[in-house]
Amino acid sequence: MKKKLKFLSIFTSNLDEFFMVRVGALTDYALFGDKHVDNKTGMTASEQLEKILRAVMPLYELRDQAYSSVTEAFAEFGIHLLKPQNLKSDEIKSLKKYFTLSIMPLLSPQIIGSRHPFPHLANKHLYITVKLERKKKNIFGLIALPADMDRLVPIGRPHGEDGRFVLLEDLISYFAELVFSIYTVHETNIVAVTRNADIDSEEGLIDEDIDDYRLYMKNILKKRTRLAAVRMELAQRASPELLGFLCEKLQIEAKRVFYSVAPLDITFFSLIERYADKETLRRVTWPAHVPADKREDVMRYPAMGRDILLSYPFESISPFLSLIHQSAEDSSVLSIKISLYRIDWHSKLAESLILAAENGKEVIVIMELRARFDEKNNIEWAQRFEEAGCRVIYGIAGYKVHSKVCLITRREFGRIQYITQIGTGNYNEKTAKQYTDLSLITANQEIGRDAANYFGNLLLGNLEGEYSHLWVAPGSFKSNILKCVEGERQKSLNGENGVIVIKCNSLTDKDIIEKLVEASRDGVKISMIVRGICCLVPQITGATENISVISIVGKFLEHSRIFCFGTGFDAKICISSADLMTRNTERRVEVACPILDAGLKDRIIGMLEVMLKDNTHAWEQFSDGRYVLRRPPGSDLVINSQELFTQEARVVAIRAEAKKIGNKKIGGMSPMIVRAFNSAKQFFKKQ
């Protein structure tokens, strides 16, 4: 039940973002008629929009079914979400009193007419729209849902102890006649508008002479709130009069109107746990396990030449946070340079960077203000960094800086030394508990010099830098990917085993797709783990029969990007911030870093093998485009990659702690878990 609830929330937020960004961009392109043709589908923007709108309709039906099953499950645990019209008369009387005293004074109802123009409807905000009549004249009204009130209104006892609730929007809609007391209410509905949020098109209009880029971005964000409507959602079917009125005022076509039995905003789910008294309804936390040798003085390991690889969320981000905090107070540290894309609102990392600046160290922050939907947060942090004395750079015009690189420069015994961190995910403590990512901390001085060169180039606005180890987009990342694919192809042509394993979020870059298809034709075995969009269709005879594609959808969001070419000791493995999308390979600043430590290479290869064997949360793509959930046949071993990584981290942590205290007995772990983990390891060795 909790899994359904979680994925219902994820689906809703993803669909919202899809309309705001992708449909928003296509809507803009459609204004140019048939001039914009997609290079993969061959369709114009208008043709793509038609197919999208038709494809979305059935998704709303599936969402309604999922919501129905979730609410039924809630009822089993004493949580009931009810409609006012289904309540008893004494309950309605009690709610009416509460509505009159506590809700109605906060409402600002409005009729629409010549002296009362149609107001701006904020993006994804809920409104109650009402069809009214007075003196035989029809008129329409609107009520905005108060933003500072709980959506869950208790029906019986005042604090929700009996677990029975109505939604605030349903209650306002039910008592609309009290709000519009001088009118006759003929019809009510709940409406939410989704607006175009694609402001990337503004990048080409940026004047290089802008004095204050941060202020410019603030103004762009204000503009976003008033962009055109791309979708309208209604809680129920509307009369032709009400529907026509809304479509006319919002300047939106009827085919962009969607009806939902499930509430238009399901963020109230997070409030339910406040009232739940059943353990099964409480949020399950999956604490990260930090091996003992990563808990102490993190800086001494890179100094000893030991690379550290953190695997989130199975291991904690805290060792990296400790590294930055120690650096902020270490007298041998001269500077900290970092590229930030998304950080938490309450960021320990940011506080440590500010502490470092206050301690007199040079702190350079490459702050990307165009991280979609995090712009406001980033703008406010940028201002705090500047006020603390950090040097803040806002990337490069026309390119988002999406890389995840941190460089610590020290003076040790009169020599300059580097500690470099390069990761696949954001420096965000919150998402580090929810997304799977890899974070490399290394004292390799060649990589450190590359990182120093990288930051120097960013400060100069130079995208053509040359590096010994790092692959940096838009300059060398894509060309190196193509070169490595070609290398495996040549192996295959020479009678050797050409092998490629790729893990990323999306694959859309046409040049890379064509190169992978070419390699497949020549016998290279290609395994891909692509969580999201994959424009390469596998298992097509004569083209992609040597390519397999799976998507792992589990408890945590798969987010790491790993590129592995070859096998064994000679395998070339890189981790990166970049997906294989044209926007990443050509229009963003991205970094890929090789894994040079033999032990870490083996560890990553082992992780990829586990994921490729997943038969619990892996969906396999077939040549007809279908994704089918893998299931273990008969009595074969059940493999849940995320669960195995969780237990592996726990095993390592317990063993390290036992070794630290000199106790060989390992406790706190069920024998069943140990057997499952050891059995899995033996299984992989046999493959």
3-state class (DSSP) for residue 79: coil
Within 608-647, strands assigned E span 618-621, 627-629
Catalytic residue among 402, 469, 559, 617: 402
Question: Which tokens sit at 259?
Answer: 């009806």
3-state class (DSSP) for residue 128: strand
Q: Which of 303, 31, 275 is nearest to 164 (CA)?
A: 275
3-state class (DSSP) for residue 570: helix
Question: Which tokens sit at 185?
Answer: 């209410």
Regarding beta strands 80-81 and 164-167, do their DSSP bridges make them parallel or antiparallel, or are they unpaired? Answer: parallel
User: Three-state SS string across 311-367, please?
Assistant: EECCCCCHHHHHHHHHHHHCCCEEEEEEEECCCCCCCHHHHHHHHHHHCCCEEEEEE
- Helix pair angle (510-521, 477-493), 10° resolution: 10
Regarding beta strands 362-367 and 229-234, do their DSSP bridges make them parallel or antiparallel, or are they unpaired? Answer: unpaired
402 is catalytic: yes
Tokens 């008592």 map to which residue?
Answer: 175
Q: Is 212 exposed, middle or buried (0-12, 13-18, 19+ CB in 10 A)?
A: exposed
Cβ atoms of residues 211 and 256 within 8 Å = no
What's the rounded Cα separation, in Å, for the pair 471 and 592?
5
Rg (CA), the chain: 28
DSSP per-residue codes, 464-498: ----SS-EEETTTHHHHHHHHHHHHHHHHHTTS--
Cβ atoms of residues 12 and 63 within 8 Å = yes
What's the rounded Cα separation, in Å, for the pair 153 and 514?
56
Within 269-323, strands assigned E span 308-312
Question: Which tokens sit at 49?
Answer: 């929009």
Q: Is the peptide bond before 146 cis (omega within 30 degrees of 0)?
A: no
For residue 349, what are the CA distances in angstroms to 233, 298, 319, 457, 603?
39, 15, 11, 24, 27
Cβ atoms of residues 418 and 333 within 8 Å = no
Which of the residues are catalytic?
Answer: 402
